[in-house]
Amino acid sequence: MSSFKNWSDNRHDYAREWKKKTGGKVLGYFCTYLPEEILYAADVLPVRIFGQHGSDIGISSAHIYDMYCPFSRSCLAEGLKGKYDYLDGVAIAQSCMHIRQAFWSWQKHLPVEYSYYIYMPHGVQSKGRYEYYRGELVEFKESLEKWLGRTISDADLDKGIDIVRKNKESMRKIWEFRKNDRPSITGLEAMEIVFSSQVTDKREHNEALEQLITELPDRKVDRETGTRLMIIGSEDDDREFTKMVEEGLSLPATFVIEDHCVGSRYFWNDFTPGEDRLASIARWYLDRPPCPSKDWPKRLRFSHIKNLIQEYKVEAAILMQQKFCDPHELDIPALKTYLDELDIPYYLIEFDVLVPAGQLKTRVEAFLETRVELV
């Protein structure tokens, strides 16, 4: 388990060492809708661009609106500070306005060898979405081939698909152990598993996952489970907050499941292979549990959340919304109504990378105390 924490803590050092060891190229991406399979097929290491909790983001103010979410501003700030100076390229698949602006500002002020914008359908329920996105992936593959000076064959795509598929299937197997009355891993450990999978070579990550799967049947977490919590919300890699809730409160609690892109949403649906590799990749990304920015006109995600609540025996939810996150602000009222119908108590937190987790301690404790009194 320590490998996942070490990779999460030292992601920049890892990428630099990988680049030195392999001589390969590293590409930073801004949203998990970017098809990592094609990058692995091209022998390029994809690493997700994250911000840094507790780090000043003022340097980004000249390049991105202060009214944009702190995550987008923090991502750009880390780039402007030189933390991602090892990147050979950057790319994004159609994302929210705030992350798009971070990408465009990065392109302008932090030039790299290669940059690419994938115009994936923002309306993932739209007619013709599969054919359209397949066409975009053809152009993305051709762009990579031109940059790298090599052909990406079907055999290469099979390799990339296999690497990513194994990674996501292994994480789904591990998540099964979170259903236990006494989960075999904590919410913090789960977050570090997913976070590290987005910033390391998945071949190495897969080996660590396989080892963990063999250990989990006999693994005991020496702590009381307490209230079984679910996180629902925006991008959330706030390990300090997760640790505070699980280890620093007067009442015990454990995050047993989550619906966000540094959690189960990243790997949940099965990959269906086909002779047309790019069509299969396009279908996987379009059919995954959607981000609220893409969950329209019908809210398909809510039934998925209900299934998670039932399968993981969730007793209460924490709604984590990035400050100024427009898609989630629009989503929250309907989500609250839905949770009320399911009789699931919830607490909404508008969080910011600059706000220490400790400031939220009293509020979360009060929420848990109220829930315990009602039981």
Structure tokens, 208: 């660590």
Gyration radius (Cα) of the chain, Å: 20
Tally of CB atoms within 10 A around 317: 25
The whole-number pLDDT of residue 87 equals 98
- Which runs of consecutive H residues, i.e. helices, occur in 117-275? 129-148, 154-176, 187-197, 202-215, 239-247
Q: Tell me what the mean pLDDT of segment 322-329 comes to.
A: 84
Q: Could you name the CATH architecture of 15-158?
A: 3-Layer(aba) Sandwich (3.40)
Per-residue pLDDT band for 373 (boundaries 50, 70, 90) equals: low
Q: List, in sequence order, every residue forming a beta bridge with 350; answer none if it has no partner.
A: 321
Token match 């780039």: residue? Answer: 79
Contact 321, 235 (CB under 8 A): no
Q: What is the pLDDT of residues 156-170, one digit of tens each?
A: 999 999 999 999 999
Average pLDDT of every residue of the chain: 94
Beta bridge partners of 233: 320
d(CA 221, CA 186): 8
Q: Who contacts 8 (Cβ-Cβ below 8 Å, separation ≥6)?
A: 192, 195, 196, 199, 239
Instruction: For residue 357, give Cα distances in angstroms to 52, 248, 349, 354, 363.
Output: 13, 11, 11, 9, 11
Most confident of 103-107, 318-322, 352-356: 103-107
For 176-190, give one letter per residue: b (16+ CB within 10 A) or e: ebbeeeebbbbbbbb
DSSP class of 258: E
- Residue-wise pLDDT tens digits, 205-227: 999 999 999 999 999 898 899 99
In a 13 Å sphere around the CA of 207, the CA atoms on its Cβ side amount to 5
More confident residue, 42 or 97: 42
* Burial of residue 83, with CB atoms counted within 10 A of its CB: 0-12 exposed, 13-18 middle, 19 or more buried: middle
Look at residue 147 and tell me whether its pLDDT is greater than 90: yes
Q: Which of 355, 336, 346, 324 is nearest to 244 (CA)?
A: 355
Q: Residue type for 320, please? A: M
Mean pLDDT within 359-365: 89
Q: Decide: helix, strand or coil at residue 7.
A: helix
